[in-house]
Structure 1
Amino acid sequence: MPTGVALRDARQQLFDAAERVLLRDGPNALTSRAVTTEAGCAKGVLHRHFSDFDTFLAELVEDRIARVEAQQAALCAAAGTGSVTGNLADALTGVFETVAVAIVALITSRDELRAKLRATRPTGVPLATEAVHMIAAYLAAERDLGRIAADADIDTLAPMLIGGGHLLFADRTGPRPDAEAVRRVVTTTMAGAVREP
């Protein structure tokens, strides 16, 4: 493996390589060697940027959480446009078609990683918890616009939607759920709460 090849934005390339390994081979295959091989760099590159592999993984999770938070801003900006069901189905697909399912599995399978993440995220499962916050913020915005019932229990609906979405996308090796399956989960969960024509 060449050691003199400079990587532009090495951290992001390593994160992207880890994501590819996670999606292709699952959390058990994620090692520092697998990441650097996937990134096409020497193993020392990872250790030059991160103190240890669990620190690398914790920063990977934080990077992916930042993406969910950016998705939250876009989703909330969409409140009042399109349909509530369509917006929620797109949001769930956007979260779970990416690496989110694999990241949650990674977090639950690595004690050291969970311990590092607990320092800044003491409750819930990182990434899944932020996805719940994203959905809750959107539902609140739609409620303020009158497109969701004023008495809708957002604190219950949001985790139900994330849980249902997670179960649809959980089988890493099986076929991805189609758009209609995602829409059915959203429609059923939101039955009685949506107030759009």
Structure 2
Amino acid sequence: MLLGFIITAKIPAIADRDLEVHAVAALLHDIGWDPTGELVSEDKRFEVDGANAARDFLHREVPHWDKHRVQLVWDAIALHTIGSVVFYKEAEVQACSYGIWADFQGPDRVHGGLLTWDEYNAVVKEFPRLELMANLKKVMCHLCVTKPQTTYDNTVGEWGDKYVDTYDRKGKLTQDLLDTCDLDSK
């Protein structure tokens, strides 16, 4: 969250945003990784599970929030792994993703050099990464094993391709489905 606030302060076009929406989305963005299974479905991507759980939480805990604010949180969480889409959404959605992406990739990969190593290191000093990448790998591989049908069309499947021996997307990609569509011949 803090990295997103640092970065977004340097982008005038999205600096004026709903800070509370940004903060809530950033804090809840990975609850779809819930290891207890209470927030996790059998048939949805982890991002959608997380977005749905966040929406349920907001309806329960802050019923005065309007539909637009709740939808912004949902969008920020559901879309945070889709870089080709998320950075064209509303300011709050973009801001949340800037922070998430910086957390995982570091300052050198933040578009436009908007995060310095000094800023990044100051945040990480107070909030250590705690083997973030090793834990990410475990979660992604777990999803490929336990919910493979939710991983075929997204980056989670790349973890399965690389690290899970029993994982196979062959015949399950969108292109495979479209290649076998025979509607034109009817």
Q: Scaled by the length of structure 1, what TM-score is found? A: 0.28
Q: Scaled by the length of structure 2, what TM-score is found? A: 0.29
